[in-house]
């Protein structure tokens, strides 16, 4: 019998139990009440009682154990309606809780479903369907309309729009074309594309996300771990106290039935289910809600650090900026040359390099339909520039250090900016290109919103020079910054900040791994490296740092809800215990209170999702 059929059977039995419970109050069938109520208990609570009896024999004192003892004891002392009421109320609460948890799980489980089983691979010009897990870096794949991208890849043919909402939280389709890199898990909406895998299947985004989902469910927060340990010790103590409450007054001549009822009220009212269920659910709801905003947290144990953060520190390149450069200005220093000609030289030399500067110049040249020239004897010098020959002319493109190395000193007379990319022909300077880093959208507004939430300050930690760092810091709202930092320098800065604050750090590269590990809460951008991802506490899959204020708000709301649930549960139990001890509260009222408070705290927890 599958889960759905089993649930249907339980609902049918529950309805029959409820009908029998009502029938039991008819005076004409008074002689058959014992059988009617016994059937009612068995129909609705057979699984509960079986599990409870097993737990008693195994000395495993859980929620089922407490309820089973209460049901059997109520039946033995002749309180048949109360025994049935305990079962009906408890099973109703259990059903509502299951539905709430199922709703909470649906978003995270939906991510796991994006893992595809098969992929269309192209070998020797032929299409073949293979197990997606066999995909390796360099494989050529075909992604048809309606299919999920099986592996992180780069488009080599075609264009389409992608639904990336399950990965990034962004509902608007993303338009992609030849040359664009796309993540596994995206859904192809409009056109057939041919791609080259840039990672193995197991290293692709969706595989890592699924691993993180399972990791997140196992890494419990401090409060969760405390509640789990607490319930293991608390429940046996409650049972012992209930037994003593039933026996000791009788020894001193008190009425046995009255005190057994009080003991049952004590037993049921003390049940910790509202706390045990609602607190893990609150943390799990938090992970689900944050995942909808494009970030995955590696376990609920990190949520408290995120919620308590007072400072946010950020890397510059790849975090505050996109890591991409844009051509800002082209300056001509030779009257005999045009913008188009200087771009032809720059484009021709840079087109074979993967450096971010080269990528920016190539992208700009292709957008302006610049012609590419044949280059011979090309040589790239790391950190300096590129040298090559076009039509026997020696063409050089690079920074000022490159000119010094090549002993081209005329630049000193021309007041060329230090950050310029200079083009020379046969040692004559033709002109230079000014590039600008592309800052992610609305970074300034994001920092302002974080400060409104109580984040004391934002600080940028970068290995870039002071001039570039200062420009970016100003555009971000004159935030604090530290420049010219090596990885160990960033760690030292974080340690200083941590002395009086809880710190969030966001980075993306291998050089950020040490500082990500040292921060109270480390966030790596979704484009980050494997090493950085392993050092961080979360991955911002969407690369959208604008979502951070909402993410911090969700974490803080979660801690507030957890504390509310603990307070409400303890207060309600205290009230029912007092009423029970003075003889006002019957057993069914204790069950109703327990179930009601559990339902209330569960609903409070799933509010986090919204």
User: For position 382, what pLDDT does the model report?
Assistant: 73
What percent of the chain has pLDDT above 90?
11
- Give domain limits for the chain: 3-109+218-283+558-609, 323-438
What band does 263 get if pLDDT is binned at 50, 70 and 90?
A: confident
Report whether pLDDT(312) > 90.
yes
Q: What is the DSSP string of 500-538?
A: TS-EEEEE-SGGGHHHHHHSSEEEEETT--HHHHHHSSE
Cα 337 → chain centroid: 53
Burial of 167 (0-12, 13-18, 19+ CB in 10 A): buried
Look at the block and give the residue holding tokens 């259990």.
Answer: 94
Question: Phi first, then psi: what are they for 194, rounded to 5°?
Answer: -110, 135
Lowest pLDDT segment from 125-139, 269-283, 384-398: 269-283
Give the residue-averaged pLDDT of 327-342: 86
Q: Is 556 helix (H, G, I), strand (E, B) or coil?
A: helix
Question: CA–CA separation, 95 vs 211, rounded Å?
Answer: 29
Q: Are 60 and 52 in contact (CB under 8 A)?
A: no
Instruction: Please give the positions annotated as active site.
Output: 315
Report whether pLDDT(67) > 70.
yes
User: For position 121, what pLDDT does the model report?
Assistant: 92
Give the residue-averaged pLDDT of 310-324: 86
b/e burial code for range 440-465 (CB count within 10 A of at least 16 → b):
beebbebbebbbeeebeebbbbbbbe
Structure-model confidence comparison of residues 354 and 431, the more confident one: 431
User: For position 582, what pLDDT does the model report?
Assistant: 78
What band does 459 get if pLDDT is binned at 50, 70 and 90?
A: very high
Look at the block and give the residue holding tokens 């995120």.
Answer: 306
Give the residue-averaged pLDDT of 159-185: 78
CATH of the domain spanning 323-438: 3.40.1110.10
Report whether pLDDT(150) > 70.
yes
User: For position 88, what pLDDT does the model report?
Assistant: 81
What band does 449 get if pLDDT is binned at 50, 70 and 90?
A: very high
The whole-chain average pLDDT of the chain stands at 81
What band does 196 get if pLDDT is binned at 50, 70 and 90?
A: very high
Report whether pLDDT(536) > 60.
yes
Nearest to 285 by CA among 298, 300, 307: 300
User: For position 7, what pLDDT does the model report?
Assistant: 76
Report whether pLDDT(165) > 80.
no
Lowest pLDDT segment from 292-306, 523-537, 562-576: 523-537
**Each residue of 553-597: pLDDT tens digit?**
999 999 999 899 888 888 887 887 788 777 777 766 776 777 778
Token pair of 441 as six digits: 């959208």
User: For position 228, what pLDDT does the model report?
Assistant: 59
Report whether pLDDT(103) > 90.
no
**Each residue of 249-260: pLDDT tens digit?**
877 888 778 887
Question: CA–CA separation, 410 vs 428, rounded Å?
Answer: 8
Give the residue-averaged pLDDT of 342-369: 85
Give the residue-averaged pLDDT of 5-28: 85
Give the residue-averaged pLDDT of 45-66: 77
User: For position 278, what pLDDT does the model report?
Assistant: 79
Instruction: Looking at mean pLDDT, say which of 266-270, 542-546, 587-591 comes out highest.
Output: 542-546
User: For position 311, what pLDDT does the model report?
Assistant: 94
User: For position 115, what pLDDT does the model report?
Assistant: 67
């Amino acid at each position: 019998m599958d889960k759905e059929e089993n649930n249907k059977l339980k609902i049918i039995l529950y309805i029959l139990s409820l009908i029998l419970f009502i029938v039991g109050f008819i005076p004409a069938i008074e002689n058959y009440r014992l059988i009617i109520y016994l059937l009612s208990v068995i129909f609705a609570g057979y699984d509960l009682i079986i599990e409870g009896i097993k737990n008693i024999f195994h000395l495993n004192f859980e929620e089922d154990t407490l309820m089973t003892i209460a049901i059997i004891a109520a039946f033995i002392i002749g309180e048949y309606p109360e025994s049935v009421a305990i079962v009906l109320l408890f099973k109703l609460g259990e059903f509502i809780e299951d539905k709430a948890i199922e709703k909470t799980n649906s978003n995270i489980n939906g991510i796991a479903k994006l893992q595809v089983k098969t992929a269309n691979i192209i070998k020797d010009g032929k299409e073949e369907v293979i197990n997606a897990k066999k995909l390796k870096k360099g494989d050529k794949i075909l992604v048809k309309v309606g299919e999920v991208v099986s592996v992180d890849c780069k488009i080599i043919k075609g264009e389409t729009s992608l639904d990336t909402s399950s990965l990034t939280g962004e509902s608007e389709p993303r338009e992609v074309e030849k040359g664009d890199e796309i993540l596994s898990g995206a859904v192809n909406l409009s056109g057939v594309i041919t791609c080259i895998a840039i990672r193995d299947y197991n290293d692709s985004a969706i595989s890592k996300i699924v691993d993180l989902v399972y990791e997140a469910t196992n890494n419990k927060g401090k409060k969760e771990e405390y509640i789990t340990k607490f319930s293991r010790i608390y429940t046996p103590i409650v049972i012992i106290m209930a037994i003593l409450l039933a026996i000791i007054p009788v020894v001193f001549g008190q009425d046995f039935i009255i005190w057994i009822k009080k003991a049952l009220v004590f037993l049921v009212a003390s049940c910790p289910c509202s706390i045990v269920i609602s607190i893990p659910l609150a943390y799990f709801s938090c992970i689900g809600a944050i995942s909808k905003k494009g970030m995955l947290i590696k376990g609920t144990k990190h949520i408290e650090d995120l919620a308590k953060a007072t400072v946010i520190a950020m890397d510059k390149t790849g975090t505050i900026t996109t890591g991409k450069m844009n051509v800002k200005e082209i300056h001509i220093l030779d009257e005999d040359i045009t913008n188009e000609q200087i771009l032809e030289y720059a484009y021709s030399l840079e087109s074979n390099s993967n450096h971010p500067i080269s990528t920016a110049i190539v992208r700009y040249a292709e957008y302006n339909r610049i012609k590419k020239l044949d280059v011979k004897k090309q040589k790239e010098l790391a950190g300096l520039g590129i040298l090559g020959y076009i039509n026997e002319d020696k063409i050089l493109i690079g920074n000022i250090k490159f000119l010094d190395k090549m002993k081209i000193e005329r630049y000193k007379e021309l007041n060329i900016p230090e950050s310029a990319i200079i083009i020379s022909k046969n040692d004559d300077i033709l002109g230079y290109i000014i590039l600008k880093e592309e800052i992610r959208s609305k970074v300034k507004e994001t920092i302002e919103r974080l400060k409104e939430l109580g984040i004391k300050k934002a600080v940028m930690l970068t290995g870039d020079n002071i001039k570039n760092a200062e420009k970016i810091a100003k555009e971000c709202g004159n935030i604090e910054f530290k420049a010219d930092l090596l990885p160990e320098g960033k760690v030292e800065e974080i340690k200083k900040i941590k002395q009086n604050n809880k710190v969030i750090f966001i980075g993306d590269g291998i050089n950020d791994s040490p500082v990500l590990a040292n921060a109270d809460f480390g966030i790596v951008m979704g484009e980050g490296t494997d090493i950085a991802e392993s050092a961080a506490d979360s991955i911002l899959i969407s690369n959208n740092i604008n979502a951070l204020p909402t993410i911090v708000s969700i974490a803080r709301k979660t801690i507030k809800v957890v504390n509310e649930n603990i307070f409400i549960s303890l207060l309600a139990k205290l009230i029912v215990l007092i009423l029970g001890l003075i003889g006002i509260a019957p057993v069914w009222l204790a069950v109703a209170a327990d179930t009601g408070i559990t339902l209330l705290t569960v609903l409070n927890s799933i509010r986090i999702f919204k």
